[in-house]
Amino acid sequence: MKKRIISATLTAALVLGMTAAPATVSAASTNASPDLAAHTLSYRFSTDYTYDVVSGCVTIIRYTGKGGAVKVPSAIEGMRVTKINREAFSSLSTVSSVTIPDTVEEIGYSAFYECTALRSITLPNSLKDLGAYAFDNCKNLTSITIPDSITRIRSDTFSECTGLTSITIPSSVTTIDSGAFYGCGSLSRINYLGTKEQWNKIKIDYTDNSPLRYASLQYSTQTSTPDPVYPKVSVEYNEKYHQFRLTWTKVPNAQYYGVAAYVSGKWRIQKQDIPASQTVYTSPKLKEGKTYLMLVCAKIDGKWDLSEFNRRAVSVTVK
């Protein structure tokens, strides 16, 4: 779990934010330089928000309201709200849902970090940048739709969202960074608003993104049959005997399981008659330090499911 330190300036702003609205802390009342004051000491306060005004647009610095179902305003003092700043809602356990207006173009780093009661959020089509760690540790968030104005899902955007079961990703997304879905063990469905060919062109860093390998993919061109359910594979190591053990989740209607290894440039079958009741495979003794790509497949209706095998492969290094 990440630690967060809120600056003394922001802490002071939050205390002042409990007083009457709206107010402004001016540079004249401080010893700070004019430039510094313009960026750190010009915060304003309303009933529910600490905010700043930059080039005539409002940036939400901190939410100070009572929580519950929050609707971020599209304007404050007649000025458009265009940004939710870093950590603006972080660690608030009272916020259950958030609706963001179509004026907002940016959500900052860790903006909703550890909002443990957050169950739903509506993101606008105006959104151009979704910061890293934006929803990290939002454990009760169950589903989310990424607007088609987003092209990149950054590192750890949804990390440790353990309750997340489905996500809708638009065809505008071209990059998914490492760890974007780290710890999302409940993710079972990805609704991709594009074709299979478009999905395969996305630059996906699978480092700490294993949920993307195992979730069922539904493309916009599909009308009824989603992608097959793949076995979710975990690895254990026996350092004494230089072996590894693969354990996987059951696949509906599987008749047998098979295990293959990528060796010397070719996929080679290690075992293909593992009964459906067995979900474990132990390797023979191997050379320490040797790395293999391993694949677990299910035989359904007499046919082996070899689809997306490169995406599903698991890397193991003998210890």
Question: Does 179 lie in the same domain as 123?
Answer: yes
Summarize the confidence of residues 125-129 as an average pLDDT. 95
pLDDT at 176: 97
Question: Does 250 lie in the same domain as 193?
Answer: no
Would you list the DSSP string of the chain? -------HHHHHHHHHTTSSSS-B--GGGSSS-HHHHHHHS--EE-SSEEEEEETTEEEEEEE-S--EEEE--SEETTEEEEEE-TTSSTT-SSEEEEE--TT--EE-TTTTTT-TT--EEE--TT--EE-TTTTTT-TT--EEE--TT--EE-TTTTTT-TT--EEEEETT--EE-TTTTTT-TT--EEEEES-HHHHHHSEE--TT-THHHHSEEEETT-SS-PPPPPPPEEEEEETTTTEEEEEE---TTEEEEEEEEEETTEEEEEEEEEETT--EEE-----TT-EEEEEEEEEETTEE--TTHHHH-EEEE--
CATH code, domain carrying 241: 2.60.40.10
Question: Does 247 lie in the same domain as 101?
Answer: no
- 74 assigned to some structural domain: yes
- 2 assigned to some structural domain: no
Contacts of the segment 32-35: beta carbons below 8 A, 24+ positions apart = none
Would you list the DSSP string of 100-148? --TT--EE-TTTTTT-TT--EEE--TT--EE-TTTTTT-TT--EEE--T
Summarize the confidence of residues 100-106 as an average pLDDT. 96
Q: pLDDT: is 310 or 176 the higher one?
A: 176
Summarize the confidence of residues 153-165 as an average pLDDT. 96
Left (φ > 0), alpha (ψ -120 to 50) or beta: where does 68 sit? left
Question: Does 159 lie in the same domain as 271?
Answer: no
Q: Tell me how many domains the chain contains.
A: 2
Given a cut of 80, whether residue 165 has pLDDT beyond it is yes
Order across the sheet with 189-193: list the strands. 143-145, 166-170, 189-193, 216-219
> How does pLDDT run across 17-39, given as a tens digit for each residue?
443 344 444 333 334 334 434 44
pLDDT at 267: 87
CATH code, domain carrying 50: 3.80.10.10
Residue 83 — pLDDT band, cuts 50, 70, 90?
A: very high
Question: Does 242 lie in the same domain as 188?
Answer: no
> How does pLDDT run across 217-235, given as a tens digit for each residue?
999 865 545 556 788 899 9
Given a cut of 90, whether residue 141 has pLDDT beyond it is yes
Question: Does 272 lie in the same domain as 208?
Answer: no
Q: In the listed set 192, 219, 246, which residue is the last one of a domain according to the structure?
A: 219
CA angle 39, 42, 47 (to 5 degrees): 130
Supply the range of the domain harboring residue 122. Answer: 8-219
DSSP bridge partners of 45: 50
pLDDT at 16: 40
- 58 assigned to some structural domain: yes
> How does pLDDT run across 226-274, given as a tens digit for each residue?
556 788 899 999 999 999 999 999 988 899 999 999 888 788 899 999 9
- 106 assigned to some structural domain: yes
pLDDT at 69: 95
Q: Return mean pLDDT, the chain.
A: 85
Q: Among all chains, which residue has been given the structure tokens 């934006």?
A: 134
Given a cut of 80, whether residue 72 has pLDDT beyond it is yes
- 108 assigned to some structural domain: yes
Least Cα distance to 143 among 113, 125, 123, 126 occurs for: 123
pLDDT at 227: 58
Q: pTM higher than 0.85 for the full model?
A: no
Question: Does 157 lie in the same domain as 205?
Answer: yes
Residue 303 — pLDDT band, cuts 50, 70, 90?
A: confident
- 226 assigned to some structural domain: no
Q: Are 38 and 172 in contact (CB under 8 A)?
A: no
Q: pLDDT: is 211 or 2 the higher one?
A: 211
